[in-house]
Structure 1
Amino acid sequence: MTDYRALIVDDEPDIRELLDITLSRMAVECTTAATLAEARDLLANQVFHLCLTDMSLPDGNGIDLVDWMQSQCPDIPVAVITAYGSMDSAITALKTGAFDFVSKPVELPRLRELVESALRLPPENAGEDRGTTGARDEELLLGESPEIDTLRRQARKVARSQAPVYISGESGSGKELVARLIHEHGPRREHAFVPVNCGAIPQELMESEFFGHRKGSFTGATENREGLFQAAHQGTLFLDEVADLPLPMQVKLLRAIQEKRIRPVGAKEEVAVDVRILSATHRNLAALVEDGLFRQDLFYRINVIELRVPSLRERAADIPILARHILERLARDYDLPPAQLSDDAVTALQAHPFPGNVRELENCLERAFTLSEEDVIRGEDLQLNGAPSPGSAPEESAAIPEPGESGMDLESYLESIERTTIEKALAQTEGNKTAAARWLGISFRALRYKLKKLGME
């Protein structure tokens, strides 16, 4: 770490000296200030790569400086030094725009970690107009509407902070894409992004999944296993559908976030972990707090900064862009000719409410892509009202396999039906795919798609 300069703002000479010595050993040149006015003057006239400010200053406070820097020099990450236990002040600083905070008495390992993270940050506007980062932003959050443009800018801004971010929005609106964008723009981008659907983990396995376990700690624990926190160490842990966490697990999660330490199931010692927490849910988390179904202290801990993802109907102007991207991806995935949308199809899509948002749009287009007879998808091919497409014939019945004693998941069960029916059609037509498609009452495109999907080519 060389050629970096930091501004230290604190009215206590001993603290200024401690910070100066610590940063100098990291090859960071330091300049100090004792007041808010002095700090503003230095920031306005010199180049700095980092600012560390005490919360309490003779002529103001650290939050005043953070707020001033957001408008005057937003590219300089600023961290606030707070009194021990002053979490409310720390959260206010983070919401104002601070990159991070450190509590007094200052722990030097924590301070070094903060400085290293801050000096890895890209400028706030890096990649906005060109370059690989900007291109990746567009790929993650497609669209040109004011709503999606605002969301991209907000995500890039909060990425520079270490504050927990709560991402709200309807199901299928793209909350995980926003979380990935935040991760890729932050100082942890070189480390793992670990998404987890909290509603998909069985309650009895939840503690082991999050914190890991030691061999022999319970029946079936045949070896040591790392949990999600350890997998996300120095990276980002994205808690999707966090509202589905049971209350006992909420307590353990809160402690892990506060203490930055976890105890694997069956372990005697705690393990230090360094993760940034991003969370999301389609449910009203504040209402769940009022109903006693979600802990208030955990809510405040994960909801330091909130980003709202707009629904698809709020940005209907983006539907043609999203649809084109989805159809191009489908054509690549299944090695089929690309399909275009007719004008009436675009109009129909933009008029549809899409309660399932982008996920519903993807399903709708995938269905139309496979069933359309030509390379142009028309309005009637979309089946937005659930009606069958004109001219489609029901598939002939085929022998349907019964689920075994251990059961069968629905997707595998339906695929087995499709496979059996297609095999019968190909046998009936002596392997002629065009004739088989006609026999099944589907388009040749649809048959090619299904053969590819089921691995029958």
Structure 2
Amino acid sequence: MSKILIIEDEDAIRRVLKKILLEEEQNYIVEEAEDGLLGIELIKKNNYDLILCDIKMPKMDGLEVLSACQKLNPDLPVVMISGHGDIETAVETMRMGAFDYISKPPDLNRLLNTVRIALDHTQLAQENKQLKKKVSKKFEMIGNSEELEQIKSMINKVAPTEARVLITGENGTGKELVAHWLHEKSERNKGPFIEVNCAAIPSELIESELFGHVKGAFTSANKDRAGKFEAANGGTIFLDEIGDMSLSAQAKVLRALQENRVQRVGSDKDIKVDVRVIAATNKNLKDEIAEKRFREDLYHRLAVILIHVPSLNERRRDIPELIRHFTEKIAGEQGTKPKTFDDKAISILEQLDWTGNIRELRNVVERLIILGDQQISDKDVKQFVQLKST
């Protein structure tokens, strides 16, 4: 049920607006405020889906109310109510961010149509927020160890900039999470986040995957195809396992970084792109440079900011929290009641040598949940987990 606030100093207009809305089949909840100051106080205390606001009012006019609303809740649609002499001002409110305006006396169909559209906008904004929360939760960074807090602090500093970032660390440590958070906290977060696993793409196809190709460029090129750099335009491209990229593709990535342009395979036409590049690797790229397998000039282009993700063995104090997180997540996926780990079981898991890092811990927790009792004990850990000394 949608909640609407009418801010209007004329009693007669308020009554008409309220009557029209309450007679609508949607069963709206309608509240009133006789001036802008009272309206703002109500907005601070309640969650409204729509505001109908007069422009000319004592104490605080509609422009001030609109400005305050945008600071309190930018997604809350505000429809301005204007007299015949207020049309120019009403147009100005649209420039300031008002959803729409309605002239006095209000036309029934115009009012209800505007209200429905505005409420649809509110619902869509709320759904987008929920979706974004789900995405953010999917890539949540769990733990409060000093090592993880340092990474979070670095992300907060670097994300709002356009600086390129090279993320290093062992397999399974969470390099992908760092890349997602750099994008989420950047000015590009409304743009695409395109991920390319350079190790998973055959070397003969990596250039086509990154830069696209034109019809006839090679045997199976039946039509023109845009590459990942074009797909990431306006957003972020994440080059995972970049240490496995061929030297030929590295040269083209270097050109893309230098000139913000790419060429599709089989074409000599430049395509302008605007992307932020984040790369990751589990290799020591300086060793790869020494072995002539990685371009030094590309390394320096990518490694403007270096973020090293520690292994799970280096952040053991996060293991109990990670176990709780995986336990709840797995229970949600399986539709079952979450199991619990007793202190002795957690203590043993904290002491293991986690060569597979967080990915391995997640697999072990899932195995114990499937095979263990409702409360998982040290005996369950010893029975179902191959113990490894640190």
Tell me what 1:182 maps to: 182
Give the RMSD, CA atoms, in angstroms.
2.0
Q: Take 1:210 and 1:139, find their aligned partners in 2: how far apart are those partners?
A: 24
Helix, strand or coil for the counterpart of 1:157?
helix
Is it true that 1:375 corresponds to 2:371 in the alignment? no
Helix, strand or coil for the counterpart of 1:250?
helix
Helix, strand or coil for the counterpart of 1:203?
coil
Tell me what 1:167 maps to: 167
**CA distances 1:315-341 after superposition (whole Å, capped 9, x unpaired):** 111111111111111111111221111
Shift of 1:138: 10
Q: Take 1:211 and 1:139, find their aligned partners in 2: how far apart are those partners?
A: 27
Amino acid at match of 1:156: N
TM-score (normalised: structure 1): 0.53
**CA distances 1:359-385 after superposition (whole Å, capped 9, x unpaired):** 01011111111111x211223333332
Tell me what 2:240 maps to: 240
Tell me what 1:384 maps to: 385
Is it true that 1:354 corresponds to 2:354 in the alignment? yes
Q: Take 1:346 and 1:364, find their aligned partners in 2: how far apart are those partners?
A: 12
Describe the shift of the 1:316–1:292 C-alpha distance in structure 2 as closer, same or farther (beyond 3 A).
same
Tell me what 1:306 maps to: 306
Q: Take 1:255 and 1:155, find their aligned partners in 2: how far apart are those partners?
A: 26
Shift of 1:223: 2.2
**CA distances 1:273-313 after superposition (whole Å, capped 9, x unpaired):** 11101111111111111221111101111011101111111
Q: Take 2:265 and 2:293, find their aligned partners in 1: how far apart are those partners?
A: 25
Is it true that 1:341 corresponds to 2:359 in the alignment? no
Alignment of 1:159-308 (within 5 A): 159-308=159-308
Shift of 1:137: 8.1
Helix, strand or coil for the counterpart of 2:205?
helix
Describe the shift of the 1:138–1:171 C-alpha distance in structure 2 as closer, same or farther (beyond 3 A).
same
Tell me what 1:428 maps to: none
Q: Take 1:314 and 1:219, find their aligned partners in 2: how far apart are those partners?
A: 49
Is it true that 1:323 corresponds to 2:304 in the alignment? no
Q: Which runs of 5+ in 1 are unaligned?
A: 1-131, 388-457
Amino acid at match of 1:366: E
Q: Which runs of 5+ in 2 are unaligned?
A: 1-131
Shift of 1:199: 0.5
Q: Take 1:264 and 1:380, find their aligned partners in 2: how far apart are those partners?
A: 58
Helix, strand or coil for the counterpart of 1:196?
strand
Amino acid at match of 1:379: D
Helix, strand or coil for the counterpart of 1:194?
strand
Alignment of 1:95-174 (within 5 A): 136=136, 140-174=140-174
Q: Take 1:343 and 1:256, find their aligned partners in 2: how far apart are those partners?
A: 52
Describe the shift of the 1:235–1:139 C-alpha distance in structure 2 as closer, same or farther (beyond 3 A).
closer
Amino acid at match of 1:377: I
Give the structure, 1 or 2, with the largest relative contact order (CA under 8 Å, sep 6 or more).
Answer: 2
Describe the shift of the 1:315–1:137 C-alpha distance in structure 2 as closer, same or farther (beyond 3 A).
farther
Contact 2:352 2:387 in 1 (8 A): no
Q: Take 1:181 and 1:194, find their aligned partners in 2: how far apart are those partners?
A: 13
Q: Take 1:195 and 1:231, find their aligned partners in 2: how far apart are those partners?
A: 10
**CA distances 1:70-110 after superposition (whole Å, capped 9, x unpaired):** xxxxxxxxxxxxxxxxxxxxxxxxxxxxxxxxxxxxxxxxx
Amino acid at match of 1:307: I
Q: Take 1:254 and 1:381, find their aligned partners in 2: how far apart are those partners?
A: 52
Q: Take 1:344 and 1:144, find their aligned partners in 2: how far apart are those partners?
A: 21
Describe the shift of the 1:241–1:139 C-alpha distance in structure 2 as closer, same or farther (beyond 3 A).
closer
Helix, strand or coil for the counterpart of 1:140?
coil
Describe the shift of the 1:367–1:214 C-alpha distance in structure 2 as closer, same or farther (beyond 3 A).
same
Contact 1:137 1:152 in 2 (8 A): no
Q: Take 1:318 and 1:149, find their aligned partners in 2: how far apart are those partners?
A: 11
Tell me what 1:57 maps to: none
Describe the shift of the 1:137–1:327 C-alpha distance in structure 2 as closer, same or farther (beyond 3 A).
closer
Shift of 1:348: 0.9
Q: Take 2:267 and 2:258, find their aligned partners in 1: how far apart are those partners?
A: 20
Describe the shift of the 1:167–1:326 C-alpha distance in structure 2 as closer, same or farther (beyond 3 A).
same
TM-score (normalised: structure 2): 0.62
Contact 1:137 1:181 in 2 (8 A): no
Q: Take 1:140 and 1:168, find their aligned partners in 2: how far apart are those partners?
A: 19
Contact 1:327 1:369 in 2 (8 A): yes
Q: Take 1:303 and 1:198, find their aligned partners in 2: how far apart are those partners?
A: 17
Amino acid at match of 2:174: G
Contact 2:139 2:181 in 1 (8 A): no
Describe the shift of the 1:386–1:319 C-alpha distance in structure 2 as closer, same or farther (beyond 3 A).
closer
Q: Take 1:275 and 1:139, find their aligned partners in 2: how far apart are those partners?
A: 21
Describe the shift of the 1:287–1:251 C-alpha distance in structure 2 as closer, same or farther (beyond 3 A).
same
